[in-house]
A and B are shown apart, each in its own frame.
Chain A
Amino acid sequence: MSEPAAAAAGSIDAEIVQFDNVGLRYGTDREVLSDVSFTLYPGSFYFLTGASGAGKTSLLKLLYLAQRPSRGAIRMFGTDAITTPRDKLPLLRRRFGVVFQDFRLVPHLSAYDNVALPLRVAGVSERELAGPVTDMLEWVGLADRMAARPATLSGGEQQRVAIARAVIGRPDLLVADEPTGNVDPEMAVKLLRLFEALNRLGTTVVVATHDVHLLRKVPDSLIMRLDQGRLADPTGALRYPPRRGGKA
């Protein structure tokens, strides 16, 4: 496991995300997440694992601010994400990159325009975004498919467009829901290398997966395991990550 940058700095203020006894229920059903507490530090690489229905996607929704928790506290980038006014949330969201399990590409936009979308939303001019978008599409091996619309792309190609869109803005936090689910093993490894490269540049990465083989590909990663809506953290390392010197 790599030492998180903030932990290395020894500053609790540097955490990117902090969940404290978070619970989530939909309507009056039972809680799909209960007493979830953890801290994400800059530069960390996390795998979120658990069986189907364990609550991985629900936890990710809380992470990328698509959902508010039923209880508990969530701090993101030093801000209380629960009490933050709605009009301030877009600025927080622009610090995330999200790879959705179902890609969620905009169907009538080309691969180029889909990847450019976060930059356009952030107000980057067409002249300034052209280079990065082209480079990013080349980087994920889709240089010759820039004008293609999602419907004409294979599942793997769509997934790479979704990943390119998620990382084009160089997010502080990258959240990926089963990002390698639709690609062959070779491409899965390449995508992981992409995430690692981003991680080395300081991006905190959270990858939800149930592919245990994937976990071994990133030996320095932390494992967050969800079991029936509860986060397994027997040593407290997720809630209180070890600081420099290995003290919890």
Chain B
Amino acid sequence: MSEPRALRLPDLFARHLGGTGEHADIIPQSRLSGPIPWVIAIMVALMVIAAAGGLALRNTGRAAAAELSGGITVQIVEARPDERDRQARAALDALARMPGITGARLVPQSELDALVEPWLGVSADEASGDLGGQAVPVPALIDARLAGPITPDRLARLQASLRGSAAGARVDAQSTWLGPVFGAIASLQYLSLALIVFLSLATGAAVLLAARTALGNNRPTIEIVHLLGGTDAQIARIFQRSIARDAIGGALAGTGAALIVMLLLGRNFAALQAGIVTGGALGWADWVLLLLVPAAAVTLATLTARLAVIRALKGML
């Protein structure tokens, strides 16, 4: 330090006003990180898996509902085979003449045999043959489609109309059989939604704790920045930037882990080759939604950190 240099003071001060620079390392990054990236990675992985499960269930339900929409089954419950065949043909003819019926087909005997085979152990035809065709009378089935919504009144009217030509006719909406299944699917969807909400809250709480801890650890530095004229927004930005970096790293890792899990589960379910399962496959819109989960987690973590820091700073003058 020397006096001649002091003469440069006016020049020194004259040329450095303005600009928008801000240094990112006022708070050391290592003090902020800690376990937060790992916590966020686990939370995001669980949220993505839960969301994927919920979406797959929704797709399954929709596929099943679309398949069964407008579908009715007419059973001809008649023990005598000849009479059963006669009533089935009569019911088929009656259905063909009725308004609002878009299609009807008699389910072939081979399909009926395949349907009952798991319970009888052998084909119904063979079983009937072994027992003289009388022991296991299987109802004839007519698969029909109705235009418009199926209501209980409409089903009752349809059954009454068919009873005239086929006394053993019983009419059921196909969707009613799967009603409890749809209910269970809806419950699981709500469960996955609740899981996502709780995991989001847990993520927010973890970030809140981390931000408070970081704020406490760096309090002397924060006070200095504060006394030098740093605004709450500037200080909060330092923290939220750091948390955002952690959250992005954690979210990427968590999403990667979730995708691996989903890939493995998808392969296992695909191997089942069951129609109701394949209907749960995720579409491109679902994948977009799933990718929004980590983005939302990063946003949530960043906002939580910002709010926590700003609230803590309000305690300072």
Contact = CB atoms under 8 A, between A and B. Distances in A.
Partners in one complex: yes
Contact of B20 (A108, A109, A125, A136): A125
B118 interface: no
Interface in B1-35: 1-3, 5-6, 8-10, 12-13, 15-23, 25-26, 28
Contacts of B16: 119, 124, 128-129, 131-132
B20 A104 contact: no
Contact of A117 (B17, B228, B314): B228
Contacts of B221: 106-107
Interface in B29-79: none
Contact of B12 (A104, A106, A122, A136): A136
Given A141-B1, A193-B6, A121 B234 contact: yes
A244 interface: no
A116 interface: yes
Interface string A123-140: 111111101100110111
Nearest to A104: B224
A14 interface: no
B317 interface: yes
B8 A135 contact: yes
A26 to B, nearest CB: 14
A87 interface: yes
Contacts of B134: none
Interface in A13-66: 64-66
Q: Is the interface of A mostly helix, strand, loop or mixed?
A: helix
Residue among B2, B23, B225, B226 facing the most chain A CB atoms (10 A cut-off): B23
A203 to B, nearest CB: 10
Given A132-B13, A194-B1, A123 B21 contact: yes
A160 B155 CA distance: 94
Nearest to A108: B28
A165 to B, nearest CB: 8
A153 interface: no
Interface residues of A, number: 52
Contact of A139 (B1, B220, B229, B314): B1
Contacts of B231: 87, 90
A125 B10 contact: no
Contacts of B13: 132, 170, 201
Contacts of A86: 314, 317
A190 interface: yes
Contacts of B220: 104
A113 interface: yes
Interface string A165-206: 100001000000000000000000010011001100100000
B230 interface: yes
A125 B15 CA distance: 11
A94 interface: yes
A143 B35 CA distance: 40
B274 interface: no
A128 B18 contact: yes
A238 B244 CA distance: 52
A197 B9 contact: yes
Interface string B213-247: 00000001101111111111010000000000000
A101 to B, nearest CB: 13
A71 B88 CA distance: 99
Contacts of A242: none
B49 to A, nearest CB: 39
A14 B20 CA distance: 30
Given A90-B229, A121-B225, A121-B230, A116 B19 contact: no
B1 A93 contact: no
B226 to A, nearest CB: 8
A91 interface: yes
A137 B147 CA distance: 87
Nearest to B31: A108
Given A65-B317, A117-B224, A201-B10, A193 B3 contact: yes
Contacts of A109: 25-26
A90 B230 contact: yes
Residue among B13, B20, B26 facing the most chain A CB atoms (10 A cut-off): B13
Given A89-B317, A201-B9, A124 B230 contact: no
B23 A120 contact: yes
Nearest to A91: B229
A239 interface: no
Interface in B271-314: 314
Given A92-B229, A113-B25, A117-B224, 17 more contacts: A66-B317, A87-B232, A98-B227, A120-B23, A123-B18, A125-B19, A125-B21, A128-B16, A128-B17, A128-B18, A128-B21, A129-B16, A132-B15, A135-B5, A193-B3, A197-B6, A201-B13
15 contacts: A67-B317, A90-B231, A93-B228, A96-B229, A109-B26, A122-B17, A123-B22, A129-B21, A131-B15, A131-B16, A132-B12, A141-B1, A170-B13, A190-B1, A193-B6
* A-B pairs, 9 with minimum CB distance: A125-B19, A94-B229, A170-B13, A125-B21, A93-B229, A141-B1, A197-B6, A90-B229, A132-B16
